[in-house]
Amino acid sequence: MNDFVPFPPPEPLEALYLVGFRLDPEIDGAQFYTLVALEGENERPLMANGRIVFFANRGDAKRALALGDDAIKRLGIPSGEVEMLCDLAQALYVANAENADSDGVLMDSIACMDDLLRAIQISVPAEYMATLSAIAARLGETPEFGSWIKEQGLDRERIEDALLWCIGAVASKSKFV
């Protein structure tokens, strides 16, 4: 048995993962999904004709993947397990009513929206970009943000508006199968 860690470490292998999304706070779990290629040089969601491909049932992953380019198809179908849940409903609640992002749901949602907006090549309005960037920077330091937004003169409605704008932009450049 060899206990040595290889140096340099091997390059991570690009793989396809199932990512779920939740918008309705009255529903438990994901309402829809996409596939995302991660751990390679080109991390990206499943796209078809410049649009992110979403699907309502995990079992539709194979059908959705058929719409992607050859490079993403070669990664194969991921397991049926959700790798990440982008819980937008909970993120909006945290932004509106909590003083800390204890579970990281707001930070994860901002990062996920950023990745999707980059994929569809839509620029966020400067006011919203500044708000989300500032919140993300704060959450990168500590989960507490309630006192910080007061100190910064930010209101929770602006955070909510920025997130809702991102959700709408992504939805407008999506394809549901």
For 144, the token pair is 């507490």
pTM of the model: 0.90
Q: Quick check: 8 pLDDT over 80?
A: no
> Rounded mean pLDDT of 8-25?
85
Cα distances from 60 to residues 49, 55, 64, 169, in angstroms, run 19, 6, 6, 24
Query: Where is 131: in which H helix or E strand?
Result: helix 126-141
Pair 166, 113: CB distance under 8 Å: yes
CA distance 176 to 170: 12
Q: Name the residue ranges covered by the structural domains of the chain.
A: 15-176
* Average pLDDT value over all residues in the chain: 93
